[in-house]
Structures are given as structure tokens and as C-alpha cells.
Amino acid sequence: MTSKFRTKKVEVSYGDKKAIRDISLDIEKNIITALIGPSGCGKSTFLRCLNRMNDVIENCSIKGSIHLDEQDIYGPDIDPVELRARVGMVFQKANPFPKSIFDNIAYGPRIHGLASNDSELKDIVHNSLEKAGLMDEVKDRLNDQATGLSGGQQQRICIARAIAVSPEVILMDEPCSALDPIATAKIEELMNELSESYTIIIVTHSMQQAARVSKKTAFFHLGDLIEYNDTDKIFTQPENQKTQDYITGRFG
């Protein structure tokens, strides 16, 4: 197994308050890694470090090192804009742009100049929708507003939008927390398919979801990484008492 991300002693603070400290973990390529833990444990903060989305937050400072394919992503020669094209992100609340479905998917390819002409762009859009399993549902209304779709469809639009930039990694920050079980099942199925060609890191509050979709799981608590192991292990024989308490529902 090769590592996609390698983080060493990552520490993030907002002003004086430390959100996470001393996080060192390697994330493997082309599998799904789940980050679980109670609210405020720092799992989203950690996720946002991986594509430098924390940069836009004021008085947020980061220590330690994060390497993507042996390259320090906080190094001086790294452009966060380029990094985010390689490491895509899907957010908790579906946030399609108030544009047509086509324009939403084409947004990334357009700004990165991935298509040299209209037919190429069209191919990219169609492929992305296909991969996101949305093509059949929206093929007749690519010019309709994306905000008019259902919540689950909107979230899959956001996934398709991320895929369209052909990233290497997709970060998902509680992508199903606002969806019903059927829409959630569809997205989980989609994640499974995508994990063949993409590295996926998902933050989730649902332990069942982590158990269902992920191969490896990291458990965070109060800004510390408590345990990181194969998902099977974490959920059947956790090594740490805190992990045990959390997955059995004793706190969290």
C-alpha cells in the first residue's frame, strides 16, 4: 500500500485555541478513509488542512507537515489554488452554484482550462455526471437550475463537480448529514465506485456509515488522534478504551 497523504505532528489553532494537536497519520491511496469522533473533535479541521481550505479562515495557524505524494503542501512553492484542483472537496451542505446543471459541472474544467473546445467540455461534463450516477436523472435538463434539484441530487452534483476537475483525492465533509437514508445509500454506493480511482477521505458522524464504506478509520477526540486502524479492527476490537466507549455509544 502506498501513502497518498503523510501528515506529521499537525497542529492547528484558531487564535489561542488549539483545535487539533500532534496528528500524524498516513492515508492510503485509492481507498476510503473515514474520520470519526464527537462534534468539535477536530476531524473537519484536519480534513480542511489537506487542501488548505483553512487558509481562508482568519487567525488560523498550522504547524507540522503534510505531504501529498512526498510533496510538502505547505511548502513555499505550492500554490493552494493548484493544490485544491488536485484535492477536491464536497461539503456538508450541498452547495451547487445558482447556475444551470451544466455550468455547475463545467465550472472547474473551465477555470482550469481542461477543455480546449466545447465538445471536449461537453464530454467532461457528461463523463462526470455519468460517474456520479446522475446522468439518467438529469440528461434532459442540463440547462435547468441546479438549485432546483432534490437535496440528494444536489449533493451528487457537487460530487460530479469535484470529479470534473479530475482530482486525485476527494475530501468529503459529512456529505450525507442533510440527506435521507435513500439519498445517503446512493451516495455511499457512489463513493464505493469512486474509490477505485480516487483517494477518498470522509468525515462522518454516522458510525454505521464509516463501518459500511471505509476501509480505514481514524477516531478523533478533543483534538487528538486516539486510534487509527483498519475499519474492521476499530469497530470490532478497538485498542483504546475511548474508542470502545464512542463506538458503543457511551458518549459522543
Site map for another protein, 77-96, x if CB under 8 A?
----xxxxxx-xxxx-x-xx
Judged by CB under 8 A, which of 18, 29, 67, 112 binds another protein? 112
Residue 138 host element (H or E): helix 135-138
Give min distance, CB of 61 to another protein, in A: 16
> What is the rounded distance in angstroms from the CA atom of residue 47 to the CA atom of residue 173?
8
* Cα(33)–Cα(215) distance, integer angstroms: 6
Could you tell me the smallest distance in angstroms from the CB atom of residue 129 to another protein? Answer: 16
Question: With respect to another protein, which residue has the nearer C-beta, 22 or 107?
Answer: 107
Q: Up-side HSE of residue 82: CA atoms within 13 Å toward CB?
A: 7
> Per rule CB under 8 A, is residue 125 in the interface with another protein?
no
Q: How far apart are CA 175 and CA 158, in angstroms?
A: 10
Nearest distance from C-beta of residue 85 to another protein, angstroms: 3
Q: Does 144 bind another protein (CB under 8 A)?
A: no
DSSP result, 29-69: TTSEEEEE-STTSSHHHHHHHTTTGGGGSTTEEEEEEEEET
Residues that bind another protein (CB under 8 A): 51, 53, 56, 58, 81-86, 88-91, 93, 95-99, 107-108, 111-112, 145, 147, 158, 161-162, 165, 171
